[in-house]
Amino acid sequence: EADIYQTPRYLVIGTGKKITLECSQTMGHDKMYWYQQDPGMELHLIHYSYGVNSTEKGDLSSESTVSRIRTEHFPLTLESARPSHTSQYLCASSDVTGLSYGYTFGSGTRLTVV
Amino acid sequence: AQRVTQPEKLLSVFKGAPVELKCNYSYSGSPELFWYVQYSRQRLQLLLRHISRESIKGFTADLNKGETSFHLKKPFAQEEDSAMYYCANTGGSYIPTFGRGTSLIVHP
């Protein structure tokens, strides 16, 4: 079934560790996005991609990096995790405009840095 | 930069009462507006698109360019409507900007 998958769902990690949050979609969407969301709060765009080899920074300054080597895969990496990175990270994808079917979101990764 | 404002963080109503969740946008071009809903322990999912002018689960939303609003309405709230509701605008860039969300609680 066409969908968007995020792993892991939950992650507790120590300060200073390098982590990669995985996001894959099987819908053939060109555009992918990463949002940061604290519980019950607004979504902040941190990265997006128009397609392979395209990555852009979003509105929220972030110490994370992303890559888009394959259409279906858009991982987010934190080189050195800090407690301030504790949050929920949502991955989403859409066709070129997102107007026809909206934006499809994954289940999220809840990250806790201790 | 475009902005999406949802002035109410929390809206609490009784079952059967009318509901209106407010959304205002600031964007100089033509907006492309959406409502998303997040039920407890579920993913964020699309509820409405302004271009389709549809009614989903009894909810409707009308774009008012004069007031730069896209309020979400339902005449009779149900308990299962309890959720977080987010308004979003993609504008000309087709990159969605979300409001801070409104938590709707429908009491029995």
Closest residue on chain B to A105 (Cα): B44
Is the Cβ–Cβ distance between A27 and A3 less than 8 Å? yes
Instruction: Tell me the C-alpha distance between A4 and A20, whole Å.
Output: 17
- Inter-chain touch B43–A102, beta carbons under 8 Å: no
Of A42, A48, A99, the CB nearest to B100: A42
Number of domains in chain B: 1
Q: Is B30 exposed, middle or buried (0-12, 13-18, 19+ CB in 10 A)?
A: exposed
Is the Cβ–Cβ distance between B5 and B86 less than 8 Å? no
Provide Rg for chain A, Cα atoms. Answer: 13
Domain A4-113 CATH (choose: 3.40.630.10, 3.40.50.2300, 2.60.40.10, 3.40.630.30): 2.60.40.10
Alpha-carbon gap: B99 to the closest alpha carbon of chain A (Å): 6
pLDDT tier at A98, thresholds 50, 70, 90:
confident
Q: Where are the domains of chain A?
A: 4-113
Higher pLDDT, A99 or A56: A56
- Inter-chain touch A42–B98, beta carbons under 8 Å: yes
pLDDT digits (tens, 9 = 90+) for A30-62: 999 999 998 778 899 999 999 999 999 998 877
CATH at residue B59: 2.60.40.10
B8 in reach of chain A (CB within 8 A): no
- Structural domain containing residue B72: 3-107
pLDDT in single tens digits along all 108 residues of chain B: 678 999 999 999 999 999 999 999 987 778 889 999 999 989 999 999 888 878 889 999 989 989 999 999 999 999 999 999 999 998 778 888 999 999 999 999
Which amino acid, A37? Q
